[in-house]
Structure 1
């Protein structure tokens, strides 16, 4: 079953949901196609990567940018806010391809899961979704991140961190951003653009903490893009046997087989889905080992056996949902 059909066939708590989730990117850090498969093809060239350059991306679910989610949140009054989770290396491409396709006029606020390249290196391109002003005379876009991530951003993008302009120094047009520090703690929620988010600290390798996020009242959604292990408290907050069943779990899966030191691979992902037991799940962060159509057929069999619908996501997928 195609991912779109999966969600058309499942009622996400409303016959006419006004909000939606748009998957701007569903691939790993290197994105797809994987350059090495094209630069140094093997005796059996990678069909997924070859397809990625031979079929237009909008027609090809195996073309994957860095993981990123846009939340189109409809307020009670009917106004919409647009909340972006992560701004990776491929952000400009995602803007040109998917924000235009889905007619998204702007980005109102940004949340960062962590400070790795595939989550933050598109920050310079935020100016593309802000009003134009040669003198930077615009309202800054709020960005929510941990102090650890902020310390890294100051080094990576010193010109994006506000500071007084010295006498004689020229004003240069850059993204205007307002940095807001959040805690890596499930008991420290925050609100942006009218929607509450609960930070979900997870291990991204045993020496590093990344954040997922829980959001939504009418439908409970958890987004976890970079995880190798769930701490018990985090798993409790999002599990059916803990704080309550999720309507949708969006979860990391890097490779089809084996294990990895900093990411779930499919065996660990499916084990986590069974433990957490959401009403349904979609997977993100895939390498070229995954063929969208073939592997979704296998996941459909798993879903029937386990009673939890699970499918691979794809770039550009839009899921209507009431939040």
Structure 2
């Protein structure tokens, strides 16, 4: 602070914050096919990517991912990343630099699909350089089922010992930590407690959301087609108490989908849960950020619950 003024750096360090590293679907936005084989007229959302830089384009969306900048009681910050999908490296180059994020202290995985885990190899990009991999590994919190799948996808990331004659390769150094799929089995990552929120992501598959925060309660649910009753009870105003912020999946603007909420189901869920505020993630190119947020502004006035589409790079200060 100089002459009684507060610098931008001081403001950024004065509270915890949530930073949206990505807010799009698995294939991301723009949709490649819209640019390779453009329709007539062209897709207005995707064609914007050819004329507006991604940093200035809220319709440019990477794989859904959240960075938690946690201001701890000792005044130090820890950085917790939920999901590290196919677009992680691009998002880190864009938003870590913009928001002055110096590192990742731990990673939490919601499930083992490509848009949640295929950036694991790129964690090395935000780790200290060591040609011999002699660095402290980054903790990765995930279920046993996800661990088994990741072990098949990335055997070299989970291998503990080199075989005879095998050369050291510079890869991500990761410390795998198994968590359970139950809200009564919380875990602590980099000083912040998380309660797993199992939800259906298709009728034969369970993905995890997470409830975190003591001063402010936040529920993050990125991949859902149906709520499990116990999870809905924990995060509903009528059950476990009102959330300060709900972050929730919405894939398409109309209809339904077998593995994701779409806009109608998402808004119904928001009304049922009744948080103080909601932000939506996981959108395809059907959503136009400005136009659909205008609709949501009117919806919010009618329902009494502020709801908006999130955007990549959005920083939400919050007291955790």
1:283 equivalent in structure 2: 280
1:262 equivalent in structure 2: 259
2:9 equivalent in structure 1: none
SS in structure 2 at match of 1:154? helix
1:309 and 1:52 map into 2 onto residues whose CA distance is: 28
Q: What is the root-mean-square deviation in Å for CA atoms of aligned residues?
A: 0.8
Moved over 6 A (4+): none
Q: CA deviation at 1:299?
A: 0.3
TM-score (norm: length of structure 1):
0.94
2:5 equivalent in structure 1: none
- 2:164 counterpart of 1:162: no
Structure 2 stretches of 5 or more lacking a match? 1-12
- 2:179 counterpart of 1:182: yes
Q: Deviations over 1:19-43 (max 9, x none)?
A: 0000000000000110010111112
2:318 equivalent in structure 1: 321
1:251 and 1:172 map into 2 onto residues whose CA distance is: 38
2:136 equivalent in structure 1: 139
2:309 and 2:281 map into 1 onto residues whose CA distance is: 7
SS in structure 1 at match of 2:237? coil
Higher relative CO (Cα under 8 Å, sequence separation at least 6) belongs to 1
2:189 equivalent in structure 1: 192
Structure 1 stretches of 5 or more lacking a match? 1-15
Which residues of 2 match residues 197-208 of structure 1 at below 5 A? 197-208=194-205
Q: Deviations over 1:249-278 (max 9, x none)?
A: 000000011111100000000000000000
- 2:118 counterpart of 1:121: yes
- 2:86 counterpart of 1:89: yes
1:93 and 1:192 map into 2 onto residues whose CA distance is: 24
Q: CA deviation at 1:17?
A: 5.8
1:6 equivalent in structure 2: none
1:35 and 1:168 map into 2 onto residues whose CA distance is: 43
2:209 equivalent in structure 1: 212
2:40 and 2:164 map into 1 onto residues whose CA distance is: 62
| Number of residue pairs aligned between Structure 1 and Structure 2 | 308
1:57 equivalent in structure 2: 54
2:263 and 2:50 map into 1 onto residues whose CA distance is: 25
1:76 and 1:101 map into 2 onto residues whose CA distance is: 25
